[in-house]
Amino acid sequence: MIARVTVDAAVDRLFDYLVPEHLRLRLVPGTRVRVPFGPRTVTGYVVEVVDRADPTDRTEQTDLLGVPIAPARTLKPLLSIVGEHPFLTESLLKLLQWLADYYCASLEGAIRSALPAPVRATGARQKEQLFVEVCDPADRTDRTDQMDRTDRKALTPRQTELLAQIRQVKGGWAATLCREFKCTPELLRKLATAGVIKLEARQMRRDPMANRVILPTQPLALMPEQATALEQVKALCDSPDPKPLLLLGVTNSGKTEVYLQGIAHVLAQGRSAIVLVPEIALTPQTVQRFAGRFGPQVAVLHSALSDGERYDEWHRIRTGAARVVVGPRSAVFAPVTRLGLIVVDEEHEPSYKQEESPRYNARDVAVMRGRLEHCAVILGSATPAMESWQNALRGKYCLARMLRRVDDRPRPSVRIVDMRIEMAKAGHVQVFSSVLLDAIRDRLSQGEQVIIFLNRRGYATSLQCPHCGYVATCEACAVAFTYHQADTCLRCHTCGAFQQVPPVCPGCSDPAFKYAGFGTQRVETILQKCFPQAHVARMDADVTARRHSHDEILGAFRTGRTDILIGTQMIAKGLHFPSVTLVGVLAADMSLHMPDFRAGERTFQLLAQVSGRAGRGDIPGEVIIQTYTPDHPAVAAARTADFEAFAATELVDRRSGGYPPFTRMVCLTLSGASEEKVAFVAGKLATRLQELAVRKPLRTEVAGGPAAPRAGEFVVTDAMPSPRAKAKGVFRYQILLRAVAMPAMLVPLRQAVSEAKLPADVALAADVDAVNIM
């Protein structure tokens, strides 16, 4: 018997090992093993167990006459099995093989992302601690009364007192008792020697939810839309081969309650569930909603947990002690067995996409896992991704709608302020409109809270005329040009066209044609100056780098110690602050003119989510959106928060432009310290891919718009600097590939990539179904 093993040495192939007789019964795919690897011993995972070795295996040797030595004699035996159970179930292994293949990644890398680091670490073990048990006097009937009396006599008054205290609490962890009763471990040991208590090493679960009071909750009586959605969920859970369900539910429509009751349904069948939430939404409140309903059956996987906690939670899942897993994208690999339901909340979130190899999208992996394990998958969102929405329209996914808020509160009123007019009034570019400033003043005077949202990202921006709103756009692609400061040039990141910055605005001939950039920090300064009495706080990536600052800032805001919270998209999601009555959105255009075909979608999602933060309490909420392009569909649709209306116009554009979801896109990024080298390698790779492609894209000078691939074809752009062309001294070039279906592209892509002889100092990353093409 031969085991085909993937080793933890970043070599993307399998190696064959003989399976020693005594290990045969225990060896199944997914088992972790120790194997000889060159001069070393390394850890690996069994992928396959076969009868014969792979004849193409390079480890096979020939004898002096060139005759292959029977593999059975040359193969080295594997050394040992690590752990009592396989670390990966067979179906997880299948999922990871699919993932590695689809996302052009290595199997080792896929396994690495599926197993938390503390679980992979060979040294990690269940933590053992000393536990104190009180010896029951009745247990000592074998002893004579005489001896018992001797024992007692041997105790000092302090020891007798301690024994009484320990008896009162019926024992416990030694460390805890020492702290509570102010005694030393030596004192406990003396009691143990006296035979009145027992000390033993026990496994202690490191509980990430320890020290939190979690109130149990009961299933709520459902609203009609919730009930209908739950019926659909239950039917899918009971189906032998269910389709995924897209749950389109506005904020506060009670999606979570539907998830909870769906999970209860599969738990009652003895099955388990996984709930994926965006990393940023994995707050104690989120976890409490699940823990409140399902108690200790809930396990949390979170990168902020300590190694010990993660190790313990993972093992609680694998052994079946925990059957509801809540976590961010990597929780999609949780080693649960008998999976009944996977929930992907806020399924449109870009954070489900891992931005390093393997560049998987946890939402899509969840759908694939559901297919492999025949379990139901719910994708929930108020603003689904166009990919998911299109799948629902095509009937590939089922669809449930929840369009009413549970509390039946009115949606906040949304006002759109045209900043072109504001700017004409003031004579120069404005950060705040007078409408917004007045509204803030008004709310503060009522003792209410305000959120100011500005999604300012620090890199390449678009060029926009503050006078007429004109945005420099590539006509062929209808995508905003990116302004590259290095060579003061406008570049289209879809087709590669470029041009110099025009001296005056092509729309209105205003020479002030420039982008007036400002970020959250400047906004903070301005607000502090305008409202010196108010407590202003800022939350963005700069301030939340510290481990607990996130909770601190939100805590201060929740308890009313902060009046105005300024933030980036970090504050847009899932937060519930009943006393926020005003949300101001600055520069709604900012995300609109990203050089990304998803710019409109992202803007709509952001505006819808940010608006959802207002008016969650008893006072009706108000949203003020400042923009230079009030007529853009994404901005206009935000007024009514009508997702389906927005999606209808957006999908028309995507179809005619040949963008996802009507095509699949791969983004190749080459990077290195030498721009010349990166550009050269990227250029060669693009040329090679274009040879392999059936059709090149149309160039900008050719009339007729952007190239949309037809069925069976794929199109390849020229190599061009990435929107973030240079970061930390590394130059980046990208090549975008599009095809109607992935298979048309994957084979030539792999061919070109494997042929390409990359110099050691140029790296290549392939991002399949790229979410971030910046």
How many residues lie near ligand ADP (CB under 6 A)? Answer: 14
89 binds ligand ADP (CB under 6 A): no
DSSP letters, 319-388, are TTS--EEEESGGGGG---SSEEEEEEETTT-GGGB-SSSS--BHHHHHHHHHHHTT-EEEEEESS--HHH
Nearer to Zn ion, 237 or 495 (CB): 495
Nearer to Zn ion, 408 or 701 (CB): 701
Strands 2-7 and 14-18: antiparallel
Tokens found for residue 555? 């805590």
Both ends of the chain: CA-CA distance in Å?
Answer: 49
346 binds ligand ADP (CB under 6 A): no
Binding at 433: pick from ligand ADP, Zn ion, none (beta carbon under 5-8 Å per type): none
Nearer to ligand ADP, 257 or 596 (CB): 257
Q: Which helix (DSSP H) or strand (DSSP E) does residue 670 occupy?
A: strand 664-672
Minimum distance from CB of 273 to ligand ADP (Å)?
A: 16
Tokens found for residue 439? 């509204």
When binding is defined by CB under 6 A, the residue of 108, 225, 257, 349 that contacts ligand ADP is 257
Minimum distance from CB of 409 to ligand ADP (Å)?
A: 10
254 binds ligand ADP (CB under 6 A): yes
Binding at 358: pick from ligand ADP, Zn ion, none (beta carbon under 5-8 Å per type): none
Tokens found for residue 62? 């020939």
Binding at 495: pick from Zn ion, ligand ADP, none (beta carbon under 5-8 Å per type): Zn ion
Minimum distance from CB of 139 to ligand ADP (Å)?
A: 49
Binding at 249: pick from Zn ion, ligand ADP, none (beta carbon under 5-8 Å per type): ligand ADP
Longest dimension (CA), the chain: 108
Site string for Zn ion, 479-498 (x = CB under 5 A): -------------x-xx-x-
How many residues lie near Zn ion (CB under 5 A)? Answer: 7
773 binds Zn ion (CB under 5 A): no
Give the count of alpha carbons within 13 A of 595, CB side only.
29
Tokens found for residue 96? 């990871």
When binding is defined by CB under 6 A, the residue of 4, 32, 94, 255 that contacts ligand ADP is 255
Nearer to Zn ion, 384 or 600 (CB): 600
**Residue type at position 403:** L
Rounded Cα–Cα distance for residues 391 and 374 (Å): 19
Binding at 482: pick from Zn ion, ligand ADP, none (beta carbon under 5-8 Å per type): none
Binding at 477: pick from ligand ADP, Zn ion, none (beta carbon under 5-8 Å per type): Zn ion
Distance (Å) of CA 363 to CA 58, 332, 381, 557: 37, 8, 12, 32
Nearer to ligand ADP, 254 or 630 (CB): 254
When binding is defined by CB under 5 A, the residue of 477, 594, 665, 667 that contacts Zn ion is 477
For residues 558-583, one letter each, b for 16 or more C-beta atoms within 10 angstroms of the residue's C-beta and e for the rest, the string is beeebbbbbbbbbbbbbbebebbbbb
When binding is defined by CB under 6 A, the residue of 9, 220, 421, 694 that contacts ligand ADP is 220
Peptide bond into 358 cis (omega under 30): yes
Backbone phi and psi for residue 264, each to the nearest 5 degrees, phi listed first = -55, -40
- Which residues touch 731 (CB under 8 Å, ≥6 apart)? 671, 672, 673, 674, 675, 678, 679, 721, 725
Nearer to ligand ADP, 256 or 544 (CB): 256
- Which residues touch 355 (CB under 8 Å, ≥6 apart)? 772
Tokens found for residue 336? 């649960």
462 binds ligand ADP (CB under 6 A): no
Per the rule left: phi > 0, alpha: psi between -120 and 50, beta: everything else, 284 is alpha
3-state DSSP percent of the chain in helix, strand and coil, to 5: 35, 20, 45
Per the rule left: phi > 0, alpha: psi between -120 and 50, beta: everything else, 237 is alpha
Name the one range near ligand ADP by CB under 6 A: 124-132, 222-230, 470-478, 641-649: 222-230
Map residue 19 onto helix, strand or coil.
coil
Binding at 28: pick from ligand ADP, Zn ion, none (beta carbon under 5-8 Å per type): none
When binding is defined by CB under 6 A, the residue of 6, 89, 232, 252 that contacts ligand ADP is 252
Name the one range near ligand ADP by CB under 6 A: 47-55, 101-109, 218-226, 479-487: 218-226
Rounded to an integer, what is the distance from CA 438 to the centroid of its chain?
A: 38
Backbone phi and psi for residue 449, each to the nearest 5 degrees, phi listed first = -110, 155
Tokens found for residue 295? 């108690």
Rounded Cα–Cα distance for residues 55 and 75 (Å): 12
223 binds ligand ADP (CB under 6 A): yes
Name the one range near ligand ADP by CB under 6 A: 158-166, 249-257, 485-493, 562-570: 249-257
Binding at 251: pick from ligand ADP, Zn ion, none (beta carbon under 5-8 Å per type): ligand ADP
Tracing tokens 């085991």 back to the chain, one arrives at 3
When binding is defined by CB under 6 A, the residue of 86, 118, 208, 249 that contacts ligand ADP is 249
- Give residues 437-476 in contact with Zn ion (rule: CB under 5 A): 474, 476
Minimum distance from CB of 256 to ligand ADP (Å)?
A: 3
Rounded Cα–Cα distance for residues 143 and 472 (Å): 93
264 binds ligand ADP (CB under 6 A): no
Determine the angle formed by the axes of helices 599-611 and 643-657, rounding to 10 degrees: 170
Site string for Zn ion, 146-175 (x = CB under 5 A): ------------------------------
Nearer to ligand ADP, 285 or 446 (CB): 285
Binding at 492: pick from Zn ion, ligand ADP, none (beta carbon under 5-8 Å per type): Zn ion
When binding is defined by CB under 6 A, the residue of 406, 437, 444, 478 that contacts ligand ADP is 406
Rounded Cα–Cα distance for residues 175 and 326 (Å): 30
Distance (Å) of CA 768 to CA 103, 353, 358, 660: 6, 10, 10, 12
Minimum distance from CB of 222 to ligand ADP (Å)?
A: 5
Angle, CA of 235, 239 and 245, to the nearest 5°:
60
Minimum distance from CB of 251 to ligand ADP (Å)?
A: 5
When binding is defined by CB under 6 A, the residue of 256, 562, 627, 629 that contacts ligand ADP is 256
Minimum distance from CB of 378 to ligand ADP (Å)?
A: 12
Nearer to Zn ion, 135 or 770 (CB): 770
Nearer to ligand ADP, 468 or 623 (CB): 623
Q: Which helix (DSSP H) or strand (DSSP E) does residue 111 occupy?
A: helix 107-114
Binding at 717: pick from Zn ion, ligand ADP, none (beta carbon under 5-8 Å per type): none
Q: Would you tell me which residues interact with ligand ADP (CB under 6 A)?
A: 220-223, 226, 249, 251-257, 406
Q: Would you tell me which residues interact with Zn ion (CB under 5 A)?
A: 474, 476-477, 492, 494-495, 497
